[in-house]
Amino acid sequence: MVTAKKTTQRQGFKTGEFVVYPAHGVGQVSSIEEQEVAGQTLELFVISFLQDKLILRVPVGKVVSAGMRKLAEPVLVEKSLKTVQGRARVKRTMWSRRAQEYEAKINSGDLIQIAEVVRDLFRSENQPEQSYSERQLYEAALERMAREISVVNKISSTEAVVLIEKNLAKGPRRGPAPPEEAEAETEATGAEKAA
């Protein structure tokens, strides 16, 4: 049996507030209700994830262990945008292991770790194509990051993606050098060999 409760706040979270649930990203607390399970009454946060058409019920007592948190502060959003500007750090391990690490970072709910995945898997037009699984992980991380930034900055998800991509473009040059620079490097190494 489920009963809607008049309570509007528990453990610092209140109804109507946007929160981050690690495995699903940004959702909104739509209500706090009581439900009887195996003879015990549980208080539950009801969280709606509109983009995924998902409703999640999280026991109030499990909020901390589940990793549910408030939205990032604007300072942390700025730090995440600086993170995507950094140089990609790709380990030289098997793809399956790296994919697991990226997946764990995306599902951690930590905005900076998600930004690291976006940075590490980003490919500009002049770089080689990504594999299907790399592309899937990149898009998942980009979407998670954009959702949180859009809610924090009160902009659309599309505007948040554009903001992230602008910051990615500020990062170190990715991919092969433009033809004129490649020629200059070839001439310089040729001159060194002749010397």
Evaluate if residue 65 carries a pLDDT over 70: yes
Sign of CA dihedral 85, 142, 107, 133: negative
CATH pick for 10-70 out of 2.40.10.170, 1.10.150.120, 1.10.510.10, 3.30.470.30:
2.40.10.170
Please state the rounded mean pLDDT for residues 114-129: 89
Residue range 88-101, pLDDT digits in tens? 988 889 999 999 99
Q: Which two tokens stand for residue 43?
A: 């208080």
Residue range 154-164, pLDDT digits in tens? 999 999 999 99
Phi-psi region at 174: left, alpha or beta (left = phi > 0; alpha = psi -120 to 50) = beta
**pTM given for the model:** 0.80
Q: What is the pLDDT of residue 36?
A: 87
CB distance 172 to 150 below 8 Å: no
Domain boundaries, the chain: 10-70, 74-169
User: Which fold does the domain 74-169 belong to in CATH?
Assistant: Methane Monooxygenase Hydroxylase; Chain G, domain 1 (1.20.58)
Q: What is the pLDDT of residue 130?
A: 85
Locus of tokens 């391990």: 93
Mean pLDDT of the chain: 85
**Cα 74 to Cα 70, 81, 154, distances in angstroms:** 12, 11, 11
CA dist., res. 78 & res. 97, Å (int): 29
Q: What is the pLDDT of residue 174?
A: 55
40 — pLDDT class (breaks 50, 70, 90): confident
